[in-house]
């Protein structure tokens, strides 16, 4: 996990180091220039000051030292001001220079601002606002802002909620944060269900297994079902648990049988869930990191060096975008022409037009934008066409194209227009790959680090469907099954000669409760005492289980479906909190911290509700 995290954030750490070095150089330059000015001033004062009065005695040394002291203090004050001004303005200069390169996200600097906000609560709101401004697609910046903005007033609560919603939306624009939280939720979902399934089998094993044994004794052919499921258990732990549940599920009543169908459904979906987990656990390739960096506007140079000589659509598209943003327009044009020769795409035509616009070939740029519109109308194509048309003094067409762009996507047009300038990377809108395309690329390049069975995905699906069909056939075919007396718990069935009486009671319980005259009074009293002792034992067990995770007590007394649902939810929330540090984006301080509070509140509520419900049953 450490290797994966270090690899993933390599480019971010490099960028942070570059920012620190550049800031240090700027401040050192300011300090050096100040010292030079100070030394030159001192030399002038010294050269203009007489040394003696002709008799070998100095008459103006006092004046000389006073002037040097005053000059030194003035220059020192100037240096302090220069340091303060440089530290505040240099970051803004860096941001502007990055925007000129088509880069809108500077996550390392935003992380630094968030840490400063933690250290200085009085300035937290302004620092976090800057963090959001420098990285508009960084979820923790919004969540920290929501925490800082919260107050008991209506304004504070709505403002905090607004930032929280923006934080959730930011996940959609941040590949690494989205894949991280997807891996966290998927891993917690799978692991919590496996644990819940194991607990169901552990609780119901000593209750339902004797029923299966009784049926096998009565009909030896039923042992073939057990033999048939033995090979399934060797396919993996989840297959073993599901196969065992298929056997015990024959003795579940009513809606509780839905637990078996849900478990088979989870087994059916498990290969797809594991794909997301393996995507996160697999160390990302250099190609993937380069593709994400350029398409999320973080870095261009890394993609320009790593993706060279790549021929697939995703790599070639990203390579051309990096070249265009770095001002290597002829190379970008060649890359996009090569791409379009085999994959005609509206996004690629937009970026080809942008490359022509950067090379000041406006006629070719217009032609590329129009071809993009022919394939699929995009707001970026109309917006860029409007700017190029105005550049060639065709203002009427420029206005027409701009209105079309607003109709398609007003929000993106207004956002880009707010940062627009004459710089080629801010004069026109670049098209980037959608998140789904990068996810597909990551899925194809991930390794199967975790497997639930030696089978591939298709074989796992076939076995899951076979288990589902087997349970349905057995449940329909086996009408006569063993059951327990509802009062004393003795095992009964139709074939062993014991008839099924009212309320699923054995004959002794029926006579001791219903037909009082059909049973000797001593036997009746002994039976009732036996039943009372059994009920006391059950209540003691339920009392103990009421203190364990919610749902287990319900599974014990037969409410299996509701019990496993709430047990799974409790375990899912618990694992979200426990696994959260493992699914970070490389900086452990920023790992989906918003999950902790709501998950804890829901867990405590579940525990209290089911503890109260279980104790009500004891009365």
CA-to-CA dists, residue 32 to 25, 36, 39, 564, angstroms:
10, 6, 11, 70
d(CA 284, CA 186): 19
Tens digit of pLDDT for each residue in 414-472?
A: 877 777 777 877 788 899 999 989 988 887 776 655 555 555 667 777 888 888 888 88
pLDDT score of 252 more than 80: yes
d(CA 516, CA 194): 48
SS3 of residue 101 by DSSP: coil
d(CA 34, CA 465): 78
SS3 of residue 499 by DSSP: coil
pLDDT score of 44 more than 80: no
d(CA 356, CA 329): 7
SS3 of residue 6 by DSSP: helix
d(CA 474, CA 225): 9
Structure tokens at 552: 């287990």
Structure tokens at 147: 């925490």
Contact status, residue 267 vs residue 467, Cβ threshold 8 Å: yes
d(CA 484, CA 181): 46
Tens digit of pLDDT for each residue in 310-339?
A: 888 999 999 999 999 999 999 999 999 999
What's the average model confidence in pLDDT over 94-119? 82
Q: Which of 80-94, 283-297, 321-335 has the highest mean pLDDT?
A: 321-335
d(CA 305, CA 322): 9
- Among left, alpha and beta (phi > 0; psi -120 to 50; other), residue 489 is left
- pLDDT top residue among 228 and 296: 296
Which pLDDT score, from 0 to 100, does residue 51 have?
Answer: 43
pLDDT score of 74 more than 60: no
pTM, to two decimals: 0.74
pLDDT score of 83 more than 60: no
- pLDDT top residue among 414 and 283: 414
Where is average pLDDT lowest: 83-87, 411-415, 512-516, 602-606? Answer: 83-87
Which residues, listed in sequence order, are joined to residue 483 by a DSSP beta bridge? 492
pLDDT score of 102 more than 60: yes
Tens digit of pLDDT for each residue in 505-533?
A: 777 776 677 666 666 777 777 777 877 88
Contact status, residue 71 vs residue 45, Cβ threshold 8 Å: yes
Q: Band of the pLDDT at 490, cuts 50, 70, 90? A: confident
What's the average model confidence in pLDDT over 361-370? 93
Contact status, residue 204 vs residue 555, Cβ threshold 8 Å: yes
Exposure b/e, 381-417, CB count within 10 A at least 16 = b: bbbbbbbbbbeeebeeebeebbebbbeebeebbeebe
φ/ψ (deg, to 5) at 484: -105, 145
DSSP state string for 557-601? TT-HHHHHHHHHHHHHHHHHHHHGGGG-SS-TT-S-GGGHHHHHH
SS3 of residue 491 by DSSP: strand
């Amino acid at each position: 996990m450490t290797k994966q995290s270090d690899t993933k954030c390599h480019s971010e750490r490099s960028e942070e180091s570059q920012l620190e070095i550049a800031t240090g150089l700027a401040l050192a330059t300011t300090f050096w220039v100040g010292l030079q000015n100070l030394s030159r001033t001192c030399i002038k004062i010294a050269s203009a000051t007489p040394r003696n009065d002709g008799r070998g005695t100095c008459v103006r040394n006092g004046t000389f030292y006073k002037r040097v002291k005053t000059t030194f203090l003035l220059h020192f004050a100037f240096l302090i001001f220069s340091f303060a001004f440089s530290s505040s303005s240099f970051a803004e200069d860096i941001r502007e220079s990055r925007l000129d390169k088509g880069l809108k996200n500077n996550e390392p600097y935003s992380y630094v601002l968030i840490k400063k906000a933690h250290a200085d609560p009085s300035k937290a709101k302004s620092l976090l606002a800057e963090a959001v401004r420098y990285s508009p697609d960084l979820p923790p910046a919004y969540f920290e802002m929501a925490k800082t903005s919260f107050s008991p007033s209506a304004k504070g609560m709505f403002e905090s909620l607004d930032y929280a919603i923006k934080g959730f939306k930011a996940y959609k624009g941040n590949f690494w944060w989205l894949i991280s939280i997807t891996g966290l939720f998927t891993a917690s979902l799978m692991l919590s269900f496996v644990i819940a399934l194991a607990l169901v089998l552990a609780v119901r094993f000593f209750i339902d297994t004797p029923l299966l044994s009784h049926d096998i004794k009565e009909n030896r052919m039923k042992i073939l079902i057990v033999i048939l499921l033995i090979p399934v258990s060797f396919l993996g732990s989840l297959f073993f648990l599901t196969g065992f549940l298929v056997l015990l599920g024959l003795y579940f009543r009513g809606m509780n049988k839905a637990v078996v169908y849900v478990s088979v459904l989870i087994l059916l979906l498990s290969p797809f869930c594991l794909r997301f987990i393996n995507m996160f656990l697999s160390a990302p390739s250099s190609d993937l990191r380069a593709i994400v960096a350029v398409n999320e506007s973080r870095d261009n140079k890394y993609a320009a060096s790593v993706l060279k000589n790549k021929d697939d659509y995703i790599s070639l598209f990203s390579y051309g975008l990096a070249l265009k943003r770095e001002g290597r327009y002829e190379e970008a044009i060649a890359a996009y022409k090569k791409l379009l020769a085999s994959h005609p795409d509206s996004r690629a035509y937009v970026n080809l037009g942008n490359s022509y616009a950067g090379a000041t070939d406006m006629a070719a740029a217009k032609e590329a934008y129009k071809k993009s519109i022919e394939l699929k109308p995009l707001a970026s194509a109309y917006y860029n066409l409007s700017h190029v048309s105005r550049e060639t003094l065709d203002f009427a067409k420029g206005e027409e194209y701009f209105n079309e762009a607003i109709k398609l996507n007003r929000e993106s047009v207004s956002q880009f227009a707010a940062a627009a300038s004459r710089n080629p990377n801010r004069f026109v809108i670049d098209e980037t790959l959608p998140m789904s395309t990068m996810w597909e690329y990551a899925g194809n390049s991930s390794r199967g680090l975790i497997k639930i069975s030696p089978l591939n995905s298709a074989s796992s699906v076939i076995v899951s469907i076979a288990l589902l069909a087997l349970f349905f056939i057995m449940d329909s075919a086996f009408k006569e099954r063993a059951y327990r007396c509802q009062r004393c718990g003795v095992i009964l069935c139709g074939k062993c000669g014991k008839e099924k009486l009212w309320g699923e009671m054995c004959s002794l319980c029926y006579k001791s409760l219903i037909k009082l005259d059909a049973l000797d009074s001593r036997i009746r009293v002994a039976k009732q005492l036996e039943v009372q002792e059994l009920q006391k034992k059950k209540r003691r067990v339920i009392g103990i289980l009421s203190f364990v995770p919610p749902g287990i007590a319900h599974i014990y007394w037969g409410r299996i479906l509701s019990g496993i649902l709430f047990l799974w939810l409790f375990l899912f929330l618990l694992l979200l909190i426990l696994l959260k540090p493992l699914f970070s984006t490389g900086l452990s301080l920023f790992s989906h911290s918003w999950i902790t509070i709501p998950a804890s509140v829901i867990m405590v509520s579940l525990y209290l509700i089911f503890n109260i419900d279980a104790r009500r049953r004891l009365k």
